[in-house]
Chains A and B, each alone.
Chain A
Amino acid sequence: MLEVKDLAVSHKKKLAIKNLSFKVADGEILGFIGADGAGKSSALNAIAGVIKFDGEILYNEFSYKSPKEAQKVKHDIGYMPQGIGLVLYKTLTIKEHLDFFTDIRDIKIDREFLEYKNHLLSMAGLEKFLERRAGDLSGGMMQKLSLVCTMLHRPKLLILDEPTTGVDPLSRIELWEILQQSAKEFNTISIISTAYMGEASKMDNILLFDEGEIIARGNSEQLIEEIKPFVYDKIETDKKHITISDTTYCLENLENQHQKPTLESLFFVNALKKDRLLPKLQIAKSKESIDKNVVVMKATKITKKFGDFYANRDVDCELKSGEILGLLGANGAGKTTFIKMLLGLLPLDGGELELFDKKIKNSDDRNKLKSQIGYVSQHFALYDDMTVRENMMFFASIHKIETLKAIKLIDNYSKELGFEKYLDEMPKSLPLGINQRFSLAVSILHEPKVLFLDEPTSGVDAIARAQFWELLKELKNKRGISILITTHYMSEAEFCDRVVLLKDGEKIADDRVENFYKKFPDAKSFEEIFLEYFR
């Protein structure tokens, strides 16, 4: 049994979490969900006894009020902090990791342990890669190895901070199988935070976090039931509301059909309750007429090799004007490599590339087209020591935009994309969602025709993600910009016009989203379609 009483954690003098109290029973899986910076990690750190906190934590007969006092329960704790492969030593092999963790956890090596270890390894599918170094593993494999290392000493209290973020759906399912089995077999208390709402349904109980407090608790059905009255089909209204995609959230009664809420809806209803209305994001219509169905990018049999390893092999891909093309695939499927080749950041090892009907043979061809292309990288390439405005001015001057025009553009975009009040702050102090929007603004300053986005929504919370997609649609509709976007959130495929699936560097499917659903009529979500291809 674990009981948390009046937990409060401050981080750099700011209260990250306050008045947190809850109980978890043996064998229970408790989920923490909430936006970025809602205080989930702080709470987990406190329970794991690795950060100073106020309040009291009771674990069975032990009570601790500080990391020092937590020392006596660490024997029972298995903690996996947030970050892909964070606890792994990049130069050590899988086998060396296992030996190391066996020793520092002081585990008695007997037949039972060896069986358990092999069982974990085979569940994680790692037994064939024992000699491979952690640095050479894909993100999904790293997370699975981290989990195996965390569970090696059979912790009675398992604390996992976003163990599945950045992990492909297949690996995620496998991770969950390990977790659920451990909860059942060893009566483990598991506390798990996640960014994937789909996983919340696998949890026995959920705590929904917002601004350092719990705003809702219960299992996923209960939570969804609670917000049912506030979710409607899309409708225009003067009452306070939030409309995203084809759903309208409103706390007052609306004359419209109710919609079945999802767990994501929780965040929107909460935002309404807290009176945090979303700024209406609208982009001015381009004056030029928009041609549809013109091929702007055509890749033929593109290949990239790293040593003996094919990162991309004979990938064909076409991007038409005014289209959002989603590039989906597991970690290490070759998505980033592909985008980098399109951008000319990596040379092609084979195949041909055409941009705007021109064959790209050398960097000269490409430089002529640079002004037509915008790019947002996986880790937003912003300067941390300059304010948002200074960053934007800098990028404007890189694109040789006149100062006066640049000031006007920045003014416009910051209003349209809703980060006006953050203009004079440092990117580091801003939520990821704001950074993401402002990176997008930077990438369209020079009015490109094509936009390449590499996992722009990774790590961003549900509301910010939804807003970001709204923006992309605006860009497509009002500006006619073609967008190529990579993502590992399968649910985001629904927002794309067309989807290309990559697996091990090769294209395995390429179709319009509605056609995928025709092909798999039983599939309830794109995640299930994805799994059909990868199983």
Chain B
Amino acid sequence: MRLRIVKAYFIKEMIELIRTKMIMMPYLMPLLIVILFGYGIKMQVTGVRTLILDNDNSQISRKLILKFEHSKYFTTTVKNMSEKDALREMKKANIDAIIIIPSSFEKNSLKGVKTEIGVFIDASFPSRATTMSNYIQGVVMDLASDFHIDSSGVININTRNLFNQALRDEEMIVPGLIGMVLLISPAILTALIIAREKEEGTIFNFYSSSVSKLEFLVAKLSAIFFLVSIAIFVIFLVASYLFNLPFRGSFFLFWLASELYVFTALGFGLLVSILASSQIIAMIVTLMLTIIPAFMYSGMIMPISSMSGDAFITAHIYPVMYYNHIIYDTFLIGQGFKSATNISYLLILFTYGVVLFMLGLLFLKKEIK
């Protein structure tokens, strides 16, 4: 490999990207996606299937039940059953929320003695869970003010998120979005800068010269790799400061995983660009190949563990899942290099990237199709 050729292509690519203003893509597109989706994905919730266990059976408790029944946000049933049975119902996914009114709720609250309403929420969809919990809180507050009870001190709501404990929307969504944008933007850019040469005919400079396939690919990919590597830091800052995500793990792990992941994304774009003959086809195919898996099979919308059959396999075929696991770990959990899963996933990403690159090198031909 002659570095001079790589350098010449690298510089040429940068000049072209700057003058065509495409250089903004690895920065603008991820920012837009993260900000729009990060703030945007908040599902409104109506008809929450709520089971109320009234152990008090008093005026206030009945009033509370009435309030739930009159709200369009809840579909309420009142039953006399044990807490255990109720939870079993929730496990079967027959109900979304359980509200337990303790005995002597009326007595205690009117006397100003601390009392506690128990709330269980099915939090498999974190954003939905957060919303439900907020609604329930609202109804209880409303009740308290009706009876002139100092709600903050006296009536406590003990909310427990089941199946997915204590997760904020952003904490779930934003890391997933990082996995999405770091796949899409490098893949598209790579596909575009190679397809453009084909479309415009400048690819002949590569075909008819002694530039080797390796030199050509390294040059093309390194330009994009360089740009997106900077974007990794930008996105990290946005996640940390704009969305106030915690960061509990190793930054080195985050960075390493991201670079490896970007490398695999470049491979995706590379393969597409070898098949596509025009920029528009390259763009559409890359979008299809990246957006859907990055969204559906990343664990962002639906936990991988709850997938079954084909979906489970598909999720494991795409690299997104592995990267997202590491990202969730570095942001939210912090096991870092101590976790064997993280290490093995890093290796998977690396292998993935190398395999894609080798395939690209194999299929790239210095000839007209």
Assess the B367–A106 pair: CB atoms within 8 A: no
Task: Answer whether residue B70 sits at the interface, using C-beta atoms and an 8 A cutoff.
Answer: no
Task: Answer whether residue B2 sits at the interface, using C-beta atoms and an 8 A cutoff.
Answer: yes
CA distance A78 to B207 in the complex (A): 11
Assess the B204–A91 pair: CB atoms within 8 A: no
CA distance A90 to B205 in the complex (A): 14
Task: Answer whether residue B217 sits at the interface, using C-beta atoms and an 8 A cutoff.
Answer: no
Task: Answer whether residue B242 sits at the interface, using C-beta atoms and an 8 A cutoff.
Answer: no
Assess the A74–B209 pair: CB atoms within 8 A: yes
Assess the B202–A87 pair: CB atoms within 8 A: yes
For window 162-220 of B, CB contacts with A under 8 Å fall at 200-202, 204-205, 207-212
Point out the residues of chain B lying under 8 angstroms from A106, CB to CB. 2, 4-5, 210
Q: Which of B7-15, B115-123, B297-305 contacts A (4 or more CB under 8 A)?
A: B7-15
CA distance A37 to B12 in the complex (A): 34
Assess the B5–A50 pair: CB atoms within 8 A: no
Assess the A86–B4 pair: CB atoms within 8 A: no
For window 33-61 of A, CB contacts with B under 8 Å fall at 45, 48-52
Task: Answer whether residue A176 sits at the interface, using C-beta atoms and an 8 A cutoff.
Answer: no
Assess the B202–A86 pair: CB atoms within 8 A: yes
Assess the A103–B4 pair: CB atoms within 8 A: yes
- Per-residue interface assignment for chain A, residues 103 to 143, with 1 indicating a CB less than 8 Å from any chain B CB and 0 otherwise: 11110000000000000000000000000010000000000
Assess the B8–A100 pair: CB atoms within 8 A: yes
Assess the A50–B367 pair: CB atoms within 8 A: yes
Assess the A50–B200 pair: CB atoms within 8 A: no
Beyond A79-B208, A86-B200, A96-B12, is A50–B366 a contact (Cβ under 8 Å)?
Answer: yes
CB distance from A217 to the nearest CB of B (A): 26
Task: Answer whether residue B365 sits at the interface, using C-beta atoms and an 8 A cutoff.
Answer: yes
CA distance A92 to B365 in the complex (A): 26
CB distance from B2 to the nearest CB of A (A): 6
Beyond A50-B208, A77-B208, A92-B15, is A99–B202 a contact (Cβ under 8 Å)?
Answer: no
Point out the residues of chain A lying under 8 angstroms from B202, CB to CB. 86-89
Point out the residues of chain B lying under 8 angstroms from A105, CB to CB. 209-210
Question: Interface size bucket, A side?
Answer: 20 to 34
Assess the B368–A104 pair: CB atoms within 8 A: no
Task: Answer whether residue A83 sits at the interface, using C-beta atoms and an 8 A cutoff.
Answer: yes
Beyond A48-B208, A51-B368, A91-B19, is A81–B201 a contact (Cβ under 8 Å)?
Answer: yes
Point out the residues of chain B lying under 8 angstroms from A67, CB to CB. 207, 365-367
Assess the B8–A50 pair: CB atoms within 8 A: no
CA distance A92 to B202 in the complex (A): 12
Q: Whose C-beta in chain A lies nearest to the C-beta of B12?
A: A100
Task: Answer whether residue A305 sits at the interface, using C-beta atoms and an 8 A cutoff.
Answer: no
Chain B residues bordering chain A, tally (CB within 8 A): 27
Task: Answer whether residue B150 sits at the interface, using C-beta atoms and an 8 A cutoff.
Answer: no
CA distance A50 to B208 in the complex (A): 6
Q: Whose C-beta in chain A lies nearest to the C-beta of B215?
A: A104
Point out the residues of chain A lying under 8 angstroms from B5, CB to CB. 103-104, 106
Task: Answer whether residue B134 sits at the interface, using C-beta atoms and an 8 A cutoff.
Answer: no
CA distance A48 to B20 in the complex (A): 31
Beyond A67-B367, A89-B202, is A49–B9 a contact (Cβ under 8 Å)?
Answer: no
Q: Whose C-beta in chain A lies nearest to the C-beta of B19?
A: A91
Point out the residues of chain A lying under 8 angstroms from B89, CB to CB. none
Q: Whose C-beta in chain A lies nearest to the C-beta of B5?
A: A104
CB distance from A397 to the nearest CB of B (A): 29
Beyond A86-B202, A87-B202, A104-B9, is A50–B207 a contact (Cβ under 8 Å)?
Answer: yes
Among B2, B19, B204: residue with most chain A CB under 10 A: B204
CB distance from A85 to the nearest CB of B (A): 9
Q: Which of A86, A100, A101, A133 contacts B204 (CB 8 A)?
A: A86
Task: Answer whether residue B142 sits at the interface, using C-beta atoms and an 8 A cutoff.
Answer: no
Task: Answer whether residue B83 sits at the interface, using C-beta atoms and an 8 A cutoff.
Answer: no
CA distance A101 to B9 in the complex (A): 10
CB distance from B17 to the nearest CB of A (A): 9
Task: Answer whether residue A240 sits at the interface, using C-beta atoms and an 8 A cutoff.
Answer: no
- How many interface contacts (CB-CB < 8 Å) are there between A and B? 83
CB distance from A196 to the nearest CB of B (A): 22
Task: Answer whether residue A71 sits at the interface, using C-beta atoms and an 8 A cutoff.
Answer: yes
- Per-residue interface assignment for chain A, residues 300 to 314, with 1 indicating a CB less than 8 Å from any chain B CB and 0 otherwise: 000000000000000
Task: Answer whether residue A75 sits at the interface, using C-beta atoms and an 8 A cutoff.
Answer: yes
Point out the residues of chain A lying under 8 angstroms from B2, CB to CB. 106
CA distance A81 to B202 in the complex (A): 10
CB distance from B6 to the nearest CB of A (A): 9
Q: Whose C-beta in chain B lies nearest to the C-beta of A93?
A: B15
Assess the B204–A104 pair: CB atoms within 8 A: no
CB distance from B18 to the nearest CB of A (A): 9
Point out the residues of chain B lying under 8 angstroms from A90, CB to CB. 200
CA distance A67 to B210 in the complex (A): 12
CA distance A313 to B212 in the complex (A): 50
CA distance A147 to B263 in the complex (A): 37
Among A77, A99, A100: residue with most chain B CB under 10 A: A100
CA distance A50 to B211 in the complex (A): 13
Q: Which of B15, B211, B365 contacts A104 (CB 8 A)?
A: B211
Assess the B210–A99 pair: CB atoms within 8 A: no
CA distance A89 to B14 in the complex (A): 12
CA distance A256 to B208 in the complex (A): 52
CA distance A78 to B20 in the complex (A): 28
Beyond A51-B367, A91-B19, is A75–B210 a contact (Cβ under 8 Å)?
Answer: yes
CB distance from B15 to the nearest CB of A (A): 6
CB distance from A245 to the nearest CB of B (A): 36
For window 1-59 of B, CB contacts with A under 8 Å fall at 2, 4-5, 7-9, 11-12, 15-16, 19-20
Q: Whose C-beta in chain A lies nearest to the C-beta of B207?
A: A50
Q: Which of A45, A75, A78, A100 contacts B368 (CB 8 A)?
A: A45
Assess the A87–B368 pair: CB atoms within 8 A: no
Point out the residues of chain A lying under 8 angstroms from B12, CB to CB. 89, 92, 96, 100
Point out the residues of chain B lying under 8 angstroms from A68, CB to CB. 366
Point out the residues of chain B lying under 8 angstroms from A87, CB to CB. 201-202, 204-205
Point out the residues of chain B lying under 8 angstroms from A88, CB to CB. 202
Assess the B368–A50 pair: CB atoms within 8 A: yes
Point out the residues of chain A lying under 8 angstroms from B210, CB to CB. 71, 74-75, 105-106
Point out the residues of chain A lying under 8 angstroms from B201, CB to CB. 81, 83, 86-87
CA distance A52 to B365 in the complex (A): 10
Assess the B16–A91 pair: CB atoms within 8 A: yes
Point out the residues of chain A lying under 8 angstroms from B9, CB to CB. 100, 104
List 24 A-B residue pairs with CB atoms under 8 Å apart, sorted by A's residue number: A48-B207, A48-B208, A49-B366, A49-B367, A50-B366, A52-B367, A67-B207, A67-B365, A67-B366, A74-B208, A79-B204, A81-B201, A81-B208, A86-B201, A87-B201, A87-B205, A89-B16, A89-B202, A90-B200, A91-B20, A100-B9, A104-B9, A104-B211, A133-B19
Chain B residues within CB distance 8 Å of chain A: 2, 4-5, 7-9, 11-12, 15-16, 19-20, 200-202, 204-205, 207-212, 365-368
Chain A residues within CB distance 8 Å of chain B: 45, 48-52, 67-68, 71, 74-75, 77-79, 81, 83, 86-92, 96, 99-101, 103-106, 133
Complex A-B, nearest 5 residue pairs according to Cβ-Cβ distance, in ascending order = A103-B8, A86-B201, A79-B208, A91-B19, A67-B367
Q: A49-B208, A89-B12, A91-B16 are in contact. List 10 more A-B contacts (CB 8 A).
A: A45-B368, A49-B367, A67-B365, A79-B204, A83-B201, A91-B19, A92-B12, A103-B5, A104-B9, A104-B211
